[in-house]
């Protein structure tokens, strides 16, 4: 049975705060096991990386604005991911780790949810996180892009 989900955010469909935390934990475990993607974490990472990532995804997918209120802005996230040169293989492997993480936490059983989460992560990985070549090129005042069942939310669309 196909249900109309426009009344429910992706965040809600994925299990809310707990669902985002489970997904972020599963993804982080997967990338640390990957010989290519784990390089991104070889110099260490914030002890709250998983919680911050879950909050970022939650905000982007229709949940509370905890990331922006507590941890930083889109500018700070994009700066953190900029200035590392091209890394297409790493990006593709990170996306594959995300897809496996969806399976690990049971979110791949719902095809519509799996598809929209995959599309969001692939877009964010290959578009927003790689938009600027150098950290100093990233403008101030960027806001976390919002994603809905229909893709990127722009001023012309609603969630």
CATH of the domain at 132: 1.10.490.10
pLDDT recorded at residue 1: 38
Rg (CA), the chain: 15
Mean pLDDT of the chain: 90
3-40 per-position pLDDT tens digit: 556 689 999 999 999 999 999 999 999 999 999 888 88
Residue whose C-alpha is closest to residue 71's, from 94, 91, 50 = 50
pTM greater than 0.85 (yes/no): yes
Structural domain that includes position 69? 10-37+47-152
In a domain, 5, yes or no: no
Tell me if 147 is assigned to some domain.
yes
Asked if residue 124 belongs to a domain, the reply is yes
* pLDDT attached to residue 3: 52
Neighbour tally for 110: CB within 10 Å: 15
Residue 67 placed within a domain: yes
More confident site: 43 or 149 = 149
Contact yes or no for 3/54 (Cβ under 8 A)? no
User: Per the domain annotation, does 42 fall within a domain?
Assistant: no
* pLDDT above 90 for 63: yes
Task: Give per-residue pLDDT as tens, 88-98.
Answer: 888 999 999 99
Query: How many domains is the chain partitioned into structurally?
Result: 1
**CA-CA distance, 88 to 103, in Å (whole number)?**
23
Tokens 């059983």, located at residue: 109
Q: Is the dihedral of CA 107, 98, 81, 34 positive or negative?
A: positive
């Amino acid at each position: 049975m196909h249900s109309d989900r426009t009344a429910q955010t992706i965040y809600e469909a994925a299990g809310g705060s707990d669902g985002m935390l489970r997904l972020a934990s599963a993804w982080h475990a997967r990338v640390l096991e990957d010989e290519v993607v784990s390089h991104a974490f070889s110099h260490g990472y914030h002890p709250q990386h998983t919680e911050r990532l879950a909050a970022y995804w939650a905000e982007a997918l229709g949940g509370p604005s905890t990331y922006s209120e507590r941890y930083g802005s889109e500018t700070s996230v994009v700066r953190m991911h900029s200035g590392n040169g091209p890394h297409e293989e790493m990006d593709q492997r990170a996306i594959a780790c995300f897809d496996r993480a969806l399976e690990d936490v049971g979110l791949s059983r719902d095809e519509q949810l799996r598809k929209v989460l995959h599309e969001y992560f692939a877009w964010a990985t290959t578009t927003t996180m790689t938009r600027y070549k150098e950290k100093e090129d990233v403008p101030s005042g960027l806001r976390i892009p919002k994603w809905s069942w229909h893709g990127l939310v722009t001023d012309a669309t609603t969630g």
